[in-house]
Amino acid sequence: MVKKNITRNAMNEQPLDCTPLVSVCPITYNHVKHFSQAIESILSQQVNFELEIIVGEDESSDGTREIALEYQERFPDKFTVLLHSRKDVIYVNGRATGRWNFVDTLSHANGKYIALLSCDDFWTDPHKLQKQVDVMEAYPEYSVCGHWTVNVDENGDLLSSQPLTGKTCPEVFFIKHALNGTPLIPNSWLFRRFDLANHPQYPLFLKLPAGDDPLMLMLLGRGPGYCIRQDMSAYRIHSGGTWSTKSQYHKDFEMLQFHIAAMQFAGWRYVPKALTIIHESVFLLFADIVREVMNTRSLSPLMDLLKLVRIQKTVPIYFIVPLFIIGCILLPVKLALRLGRMAVNRVRAMIGSVL
């Protein structure tokens, strides 16, 4: 697709004819240290349209709820706090998730577009929403618009390593670019509102451990995405994050769950590519399990994995058993091939340095 020239509307133009045009849906649970920074980054947006802020508060126990209600009192015309209960939490793989908080918050959105933000992250560009709306208004074929992201630590300082930035995402991207996971961090998304609860794969969406990867496939099933090649938000990597607290093999298995489910979200035309990804995903899972067993000199990681397999609800056991058999066969073969390639490359490098 030909690259399109996107320009931002002048800030003094008349508001676009929709009230509100954008619903910003910050999701929060026990984010007391970072909540205000996230909300202030929304309030600082300079736009020529009306927006609403709908906070999904999941009954925090650290004072986040009280701060959210203070913002609602200060900005009653644009700020709404949805007070959710921990009794409604959806459990996935034995862990509490924020899935109900997320889907119920989105169901209250009134805007033509929805913007996402987890309240341990924040936006860094005051023109972020305006730039994204300009793209979406100019090109109605796009279903979602995102952008690059920087990684920060607990204190908001830039990290030297930047693993999750979206910089490998094409400017215009499609389903094939999201089969291995979303190419853009959710705090960068602005997408056209749609009826999530009536999507054919909504029941499966509720059962998967992460919601952002399947949601991106849902969006791309409605049209391509556009990536603005600028850093406009910050993703906070910290020890309290729901993803960072999991073991590597736990992450591997949950990504395998998504890779298998991706065939249903993406459609059968993507099955060959999805199967290739599943093949690699199985190998990574087994390699990390073997590494963890050797490091701990215990079978407890394997027992944990088997427990996870038993309680998960997305992949039928008749599908898991063949995958595990294939994994047992592939692991030594692929390890041998990779070690062989490493040895060959090292020899070539040594010969090159001598010559």
Sequence spans of domains, the chain: 22-236, 248-354
Beta bridge partners of 173: 225
pLDDT of the residue at 7: 38
The Cα 144–Cα 307 span in angstroms is 37
Cα–Cα distance measured from residue 31 to residue 227, given in angstroms and rounded to the nearest whole number: 28
More confident residue, 317 or 1: 317
pLDDT of residue 16: 46
Amino acid identity at 15: P
8 A C-beta contact, residue 188 and residue 115:
no
Fold category of 22-236 in CATH: Spore Coat Polysaccharide Biosynthesis Protein SpsA; Chain A (3.90.550)
d(CA 132, CA 313): 36
In this model, does residue 13 exceed pLDDT 50? no
Q: Over the stretch 168-225, which tens digit does the pLDDT of each residue have?
A: 999 999 999 999 999 999 999 999 999 999 999 999 999 999 999 999 999 999 999 9
- For the segment 78-98, the average pLDDT, to the nearest whole number, is 94
- Measured distance CA(280)–CA(274) in Å, rounded: 10
Rounded to the nearest angstrom, the gap between the alpha carbon of residue 43 and the centroid of all alpha carbons in its chain is 23
Q: Residue 185 corresponds to which tokens in the numbers above?
A: 């961090």
66: left (phi over 0), alpha (psi -120 to 50) or beta: alpha
Asked if 165 contacts 151 with a C-beta cutoff of 8 angstroms, the reply is yes
Q: Give Rg (Cα) of the chain.
A: 22
Mean predicted lDDT score pLDDT of the chain? 88
For strands 190-192 and 113-118, give the pairing: antiparallel
